[in-house]
Homo-oligomer: A and B are copies of this chain.
Amino acid sequence: MNSIHVETPLKNYNIHFEASFKSLPEHILELKKNYSKIAIISDDQVAPLYTSQVKTVLESLNVEILNFDFAHGEINKNYKTINLIYDFLITNQFDRQSLLIALGGGVVGDMVGFTAATYMRGIDFIQVPTSLLAQVDSSIGGKTGIDFNGYKNIVGAFHQPEMVYVNTKTLRTLPTQEFASGMGEVIKHSLIKDEAYMSFLENNVDAIKGLNHEAITELIKLSCLIKSDVVSKDEREQGLRATLNFGHTIGHAIERLMNFKRLHGECVALGMLAASHISYAIGHLTTSDMDRISSLIDLYNLPVKIDGLSPETIYTELFFDKKTKHHQLNFVLLKTIGTCYMDNQLNEKLIMEGIKAILK
């Protein structure tokens, strides 16, 4: 199996898994779209590594191919960068029959996706994720967006790609810490959906961390299957999709309190541990389940404790986008390893217990 088929209300598309960029042009031809132009859009960290490779591979399409790079990082995920991309597209006369390729990590995918969603009221785009986080998570599901006034992803659109093309070899240039961050979402997928997947992660630590081709391809496919299955059934986060927020309620609070200086996957790992502790306190998980979870997080170089924050500070931050502390919080909890459920009735005491479990 080299592809997964994803169905959404408005569009069906494939996720392809390859060990190079070679098959990209043939998969573009399969779309039968006869594109007028193609833009490879990336950031200034990823572009020097891969843009010319992708450009060369696409030459066989006999279509004009241009590229545009912007300054990397969450700090540039805003309308100013989007305006630079619009400007590039207008200047080069991109039209409704043009194609954008998002080459890079999550920030690139979110921004190119948002540009594609809004340029001329929507044009086609392809996700070519190069980070683990983007490959197993953000490139799938059609969420696109930018930050505004410090609010993450508050401006955006649902816009599905025509295709996701994963070249697993790009992980070789990914910084170790970024790889660990991606593993946060991978571990999340196993915990909420698939106990056997968790065993696979436990039994193949060296192969996965060593980027063994078979192991890493298996991991990306399993995570893509879980993510795409959820978003196929619930594109717009009415219910099921919210289970993907496991670890994110407390994780996001920590991320904000650390001013985004800790990576997303690290904060999610802490959030998952806190939520698991709550599940344990309620009586769903056993002590050995808890040991398994924290061992796995530790094995993949993710934190199991954090210092410098008080439990009260974290608790208060959970309500940052709510009007009052009386507003309900939606928690995803584990029923067992591999199954989860939503709970919006947790009391302060239980939540504080979860938070305290991850403080040094």
A: residues with CB less than 8 A from B are: 9-10, 79, 83, 86-87, 90, 93, 95, 117-122, 143-145, 148-149, 151, 153-158, 236, 321, 323
User: Cα distance A148–B158 when bound, in Å?
Assistant: 22
- Report whether over half of chain A's contact residues are helix, strand or loop; otherwise say mixed: mixed
A90 x B151 contact (CB < 8 A): yes
Contact of A154 (CB < 8 Å), options: B79, B119, B321: B119
Contacts of A10 in B (CB 8 A): 9-10
Q: B121 contacts A157, CB within 8 Å?
A: yes
| Smallest CB separation, A68 vs chain B (Å) | 16
Instruction: Determine whether the beta carbon of A158 is less than 8 Å from that of B122.
Output: yes
Return A84 CB to nearest CB of chain B, in Å.
Answer: 11
Inter-chain contact A87/B149, CB cutoff 8 Å: yes
Q: Is the CB of B156 within 8 A of A120?
A: yes
Q: Which residues of B contact A86 (CB under 8 A)?
A: 148-149, 154-155
**12 cross-chain CB contacts under 8 A:** A9-B10, A10-B10, A79-B79, A86-B149, A87-B149, A118-B118, A118-B155, A118-B156, A118-B157, A119-B155, A121-B145, A121-B153
Besides A118-B118, A121-B153, 6 new A-B residue pairs in contact (Cβ under 8 A), listed by A number? A93-B321, A118-B155, A118-B157, A119-B154, A121-B157, A157-B157
Query: Bound state CA distance, A323 and B157, in angstroms?
Result: 30
Given the contacts A79-B83, A83-B79, A121 and B156 also touching, CB distance less than 8 Å: yes
Q: CA separation between A145 and B155, bound complex, in Å?
A: 15
Residues in chain B near residue A148, CB distance under 8 A: 83, 86, 90
- List B contacts of A158 (CB < 8 A): 121-122
Task: Report B-chain residues with C-beta under 8 Å of the C-beta of A119.
Answer: 154-155
